[in-house]
Amino acid sequence: LFIDAPLAEDTEADSLPGQGRYLGSVLRRGVGDAVLLFNGRDGEFEASIAALRKDSARFVLRRRLRPQPPPAGPILLIALLKRDAMEWTVEKATELGVAAIRPVLTTRCVADKVNRDRLGLIAREAAEQCERLDVPEIADPLPLHTALDLWARQDPVAPLFLGAERGAAPPLAETLRQASPASGPGWLVGPEGGFAPAELDAVRRRPFVVPVALGPRILRAETAAISGLAVLQSLCGD
């Protein structure tokens, strides 16, 4: 269970609002029962429920079971999709170990806003379900060129793999086998309508962009996002 409080042995901590109901009605836990807690910073703790109210709960922390792993995983830059596709992508990307999701705005995007609270909740619940000890950051949408400028400011600059659905690009798996990035590669996926030609040219001109393909078919944006992350996870994830 994710809680937003410091975690240390032999201390007490409060749940987030709504978790009392979740513990009592969904998980059928009561006072004295054990739960596993994480906060994205201090690792994983075994705790027991000291008090359970309708909305909230209080825990007594027993012992640390796992230390906090160092931040890792690819960063997904994805053209903003329609709400359902975006939500599905956030859930699956979290399970696949994405470090952060940065929605980007491109000419052919059909949406221009995200509900970050809702996406954050989906990421948190997916992190709980797959037992990862951090919750990926969901960034505010940025224009594509701003997101690329930001990427270029890293030191050293990690490769940003571009999902190139048409034209010649080597397979992502083959590219990774030849040179596995040290850490934090990016995966850039366009909108349902694809990148506009001028946009694609500008992306390809960035020195850190590596166009790659995921087979000969045109995948939906969310399929491309998740299958690319699955390849990255299986070949260079932890």
Residue 214 interacts with ligand SAM (CB under 6 A): yes or no: yes
Q: Point out the residue whose Cβ comes nearest to ligand SAM.
A: 190
For residue 72, the minimal CB distance to ligand SAM (Å) is 23
- Give the type of residue at 68: Q
Count of residues that bind ligand SAM according to CB under 6 A: 19
215 touches ligand SAM (CB under 6 A)? yes
Q: Of residues 150, 152, 218, 235, which one binds ligand SAM by CB under 6 A?
A: 218
- Give the range of 86-94, 119-127, 144-152, 216-224 binding ligand SAM by CB under 6 A: 216-224
Burial classification of residue 53, based on how many CB atoms lie within 10 Å of its CB (0-12 exposed, 13-18 middle, 19 or more buried):
exposed
Q: Which of residues 127-166 bind ligand SAM (CB under 6 A)?
A: 163-166
CB of 195 to ligand SAM, least distance (A): 6
Q: Does 219 bind ligand SAM (CB under 6 A)?
A: yes
Phi and psi at residue 45, to the nearest 5°: -120, 145
Q: Print burial letters for 154-171: b (CB count within 10 Å at least 16), e (below 16).
A: eeeebbbbbbbbeeebee
Ordered DSSP codes for 39-60? -SSS-EEEEEEEEE-SS-EEEE
CA separation for the pair 148, 161 (Å, rounded): 12
Q: How many CA atoms does the CB half-sphere of 179 hold within 13 Å?
A: 7
Taking CB under 6 A as the criterion, which residues in 167-206 touch ligand SAM?
189-190, 192-195
State the residues that interact with ligand SAM by CB under 6 A.
163-166, 189-190, 192-195, 213-215, 217-221, 224
